[in-house]
Copies of this chain bind each other. A is one copy, B any other.
Amino acid sequence: MRRLPADEGSQAAGRVADVRRRNLSLVLDRIAARDPLAPAPSRALIAAETGLTKASVSSLVADLLAAGLLTEVGLSRDGERGRPGVGLALNDGLGVLGLEINVDYLAAGVVDLTGRVRIQVVEERINSGRGPEEVLRDLSDLSARVLSRAGQDGLRVLAAGLAVPGLVDAESAVVLDAPNLGWSRTPLDLAPLMPPGGRGATVALSNEANSAALAELWYGHGPTLRAYLFISGEVGVGGGLVFNGELFLGPGGHAGEVGHVVVTEEGSMCSCGGRGCLETVAGQEAVFAAAGTAGSTPAEKMERLLTALGGGDPAAEAAVARAGHYLGIAAASSARLVDISAVVLGGYFSRLGPWLLPALRASLATHAPRLLDTADVVLSELPQTAALMGAAGSCIRDVLANPQELMEQPPGAASAGA
């Protein structure tokens, strides 16, 4: 088949556009990767760091300023030499909506392009056994309140991500299996959750432990750890594997489910249908039950458990130590199977650190002594809403990697709320 010259012309134009797209993203990346305590970088410094010419950087920055992705932040002197330049920063007037459905709460928030959580609302709500329509309606109400506050604060919301406690098919927005919610092969109608004027076609759906593991990578301990297993304690126990700065999803897309590693062969039934999974002994309900902690809501039980631990209550201490023991077994098994060099404990585990870690370390000493010598075991310092931050963070990464999508929006949309 003969190729028409017109085709060749549009192919060449396509290649030029590709190069510009990559360069826009490269410039944004240099600005985003900047230590927030360092002075904002100038065009000249970005040129030096990226290898692009100063003229190219000026042109790219002009487009990014026009699209509203960057702001100029006053004079900045890069090092000792050279004249001071205008500093550039991500526009923190742009943000992304992060949403989370968990077994015992709903959460919504706005994270700005620099990664700061600007608005956040968490509402206790027992969602297990409720249908998706009902839960999504509540989440939609919560989201509307958050977006309204964002509008008052002059924040423009570009996109949205939703984290749920289960295995998902992100492409088709289906929750494949969320046993603690009672959802299986459940399609979600996410359109009502899209922020008005948001970019992209839909809300990005993710697994909450994977999202929290990514939040740890971007906003927590991640940068200092080479290969870690993130273990998230909630009603369920979720997990995410991060290797060399990337989430490892495995050959089928659902790796990292450490909550269903078998840690006690004579254990009780798990929500997954199995027996003796980590979740059955380290999920928060299992720990509350073992500690004899009463309360009308999980949050209340959690406060009472912490009070009991603070007061040296033996039943509470034993219950948490037991969870730590089994976390150690799961960590030992995981380390040998996927060769991680660190474990990060998130969710409610991070609040139990002082009582959990000694038992976890003792368990590693018994079951994998060499791992104890070489691996880091650290507590996440992110808030309960790490999954929300990760779900939003994925969208922010997407915006920064594809800035031209924002530029291609009609000027009205691009300036709305700015």
Residues in A lying within 8 Å of B, measured CB to CB: 226-227, 239, 241, 243-244, 249-265, 272-277, 329, 332-334, 336-341, 366-370
Contacts and interface: CB of A to CB of B under 8 A. Distances in A.
A224 to B, nearest CB: 15
A262 B333 contact: yes
Contacts of A260: 332-333, 336, 368
A338 B239 CA distance: 11
Given A274-B332, A274-B366, A337 B262 contact: no
Contact of A262 (B254, B274, B329, B370): B329
A265 B262 contact: no
B370 A337 contact: no
Copies of this subunit: 2
B265 A263 contact: yes
Nearest to A260: B336
A157 to B, nearest CB: 34
Contacts of A258: 336-337
7 contacts: A244-B251, A251-B339, A251-B340, A251-B341, A262-B368, A265-B367, A274-B368
A338 B250 contact: yes
Contacts of A336: 257-261
A359 to B, nearest CB: 13
Contact of A261 (B241, B274, B333, B340): B333
A173 to B, nearest CB: 20
Contacts of A253: 339
Contact of A255 (B274, B277, B338): B338
B262 A367 contact: yes
Contact of A252 (B264, B334, B341): B341
A287 B338 CA distance: 26
Contact of A275 (B243, B244, B259, B366): B366
A339 B249 CA distance: 8
A384 to B, nearest CB: 24
B370 A273 contact: yes
Q: Pick the most buried of A250, A251, A263: most chain B CB atoms within 10 A of its CB.
A: A251
A252 B226 CA distance: 9
Given A243-B251, A262-B368, 6 more contacts: A227-B251, A250-B340, A254-B339, A255-B337, A261-B336, A274-B332
Contacts of A261: 333, 336-337
A251 B276 contact: no
Nearest to A253: B339
A396 B410 CA distance: 58
A274 B337 CA distance: 14
A329 B265 contact: yes
A339 B272 contact: no
A369 B273 contact: yes
B227 A252 contact: yes
Contacts of A274: 332, 366-369
Q: Pick the most buried of A257, A262, A275, A370: most chain B CB atoms within 10 A of its CB.
A: A262
Contacts of A254: 339
Contacts of A370: 272-273
3 A-B pairs with the lowest CB-CB distances in the bound complex, closest first? A227-B251, A250-B339, A243-B251
Nearest to A250: B339
Contacts of A259: 336
A255 B339 contact: yes
A334 B332 contact: no
A249 B258 CA distance: 19
